[in-house]
Amino acid sequence: MTTILLTACSEAGATWQPSAPLANLRARAELLAKLRKFFAEVGVLEVETPLLSTAAVTDAALASFAVHHANGEPCGYLHTSPEFPMKRLLAAGSGAIYQICKVFRDGERGRRHHAEFTLLEWYRPDWNYQQLMDEVAAVVRLALAQPTLPIEKISYRELFRNRLALDPWTVSTAELQTAAQTAGITNAQQLELTHDGWLDLLLTHCLEKHLGQNTLTFIYDYPPSQAALARIRMDAKPVAERFELYLQGIELANGFTELGDAAEQRARFEADLAERQTQHLPLPPIDEHFLAALAAGLPDCAGVALGLDRLLMLAINTTHIDSVLAFPIERA
């Protein structure tokens, strides 16, 4: 499917037209209007933060576009999400806030990926991730005009136990590799992956497509090694208070009870940079403004980022992101 579209796009000169039917662009405008109305009604403030930043995300799995001045000198990075500056606003006392903006992730391209895409991100002071999941469900039901769409919540551990008979907290890396081969990933023995990489492989290849069949499926409580910016809850086996939402096998949203501890956040950034060094990836500067805001005091809050292009794809029942984008990169 990707193949056909990209081949068509490579015919230079024939690509001035949008790849999305105009009806889909009207649906996009209606979706944005609906969302803004929703957040106005529940008293969440719309904000704008910079797309271009002097610091960048450190997560080794996210690649920021580096931007240069006209004279060729390095200038900064396009953001991969507005998370850091939005948390600075929260620390400054903004109260509940949301943002609808373009974000950029280098190297991501496929049926459900486009390096430049639209994110809806919002934060709720004094809420935890369980409360936020319910609001995410309300937003998606509204966007899809399906007010009775059922909701299910399954922990990450239950998901792997039920579907693959594995406990991600105790399974060995070798067992994960064997499980991948058993599950039919033919060249699994040739892949070199970390423990979390194997979990990601099983999730994307064996589990995702079954998730959220006509149901809003929330996966929650991730392994601490996949906490990203979530708070870790010190249960007998610690878990990250992080959730993901799936609908029709598509990953739609990622949320956290937000980590507010500046020292722990710095330690995670440094661990990310060490991992980047191992993988010979660029080492962007850590966002010191963000760490200073955490040190000053981030209110207890939960936050979530939701991919609006994918939400629109589900709303109008299409399977390729290009059909909801006016001009994908090949004709941008």
Q: Which of 40, 191, 267, 271 binds other proteins (CB under 8 A)?
A: 191
DSSP class of residue 282 equals -
Q: Does 185 bind other proteins (CB under 8 A)?
A: yes
Q: Which is nearer to other proteins, 91 or 322 (CB)?
A: 322
Stretch that binds other proteins, among 47-55, 93-101, 124-132, 182-190 (CB under 8 A): 182-190
Give the list of residues 6+ apart from residue 177 with CB closer than 8 angstroms, or none: 188, 189, 191, 193, 198
Token output for 43: 């008293």
Q: Does 319 bind other proteins (CB under 8 A)?
A: no
Q: Which is nearer to other proteins, 47 or 122 (CB)?
A: 122
Q: Does 6 bind other proteins (CB under 8 A)?
A: yes
Q: Which is nearer to other proteins, 108 or 261 (CB)?
A: 108
What sign for the dihedral angle of Cα 147, 143, 251, 44? negative
Q: 74-78 and 66-68 as β-strands: parallel, antiparallel, unpaired?
A: antiparallel
**Where do the DSSP E strands lie in 52-155?**
52-53, 66-68, 74-78, 97-104, 116-125, 151-155
| Intra-chain end-to-end CA distance of the chain, in Å | 20
DSSP class of residue 213 equals T
Token output for 188: 């699994």
Half-sphere exposure of 119 (CA within 13 A, CB side): 27
Q: Which is nearer to other proteins, 2 or 277 (CB)?
A: 2
Stretch that binds other proteins, among 2-10, 33-41, 264-272, 291-299 (CB under 8 A): 2-10
Q: Which of 139, 164, 201, 247 binds other proteins (CB under 8 A)?
A: 201
Cβ-count burial 129-141 (b if 16+ within 10 Å, e if not): beebbebbbebbb
Q: How far is the CB of 187 from other proteins (least distance, A)?
A: 5
Q: Which of 32, 34, 67, 108 binds other proteins (CB under 8 A)?
A: 108
Is there a contact between 164 and 157 (Cβ–Cβ < 8 Å)? no
Q: Which of 113, 163, 268, 289 binds other proteins (CB under 8 A)?
A: 113
Q: Which of 142, 193, 316, 326 binds other proteins (CB under 8 A)?
A: 193
Based on C-alpha coordinates, what's the Rg of the chain? 20
Q: Which of 17, 148, 170, 187 binds other proteins (CB under 8 A)?
A: 187
Q: Which is nearer to other proteins, 141 or 205 (CB)?
A: 205
Q: Which is nearer to other proteins, 109 or 266 (CB)?
A: 109
Q: Does 289 bind other proteins (CB under 8 A)?
A: no
Mark 55-74 with x for binding to other proteins (rule: CB under 8 A) and - for no binding: ----x-x-------------
Cβ-count burial 249-278 (b if 16+ within 10 Å, e if not): ebbbbbbbbbbbebeebbebbeebbeebee
Residues that bind other proteins (CB under 8 A): 1-4, 6-7, 59, 61, 107-111, 113, 185-188, 191-194, 196-197, 199-201, 203-205, 208, 226, 228, 244, 251, 253-254
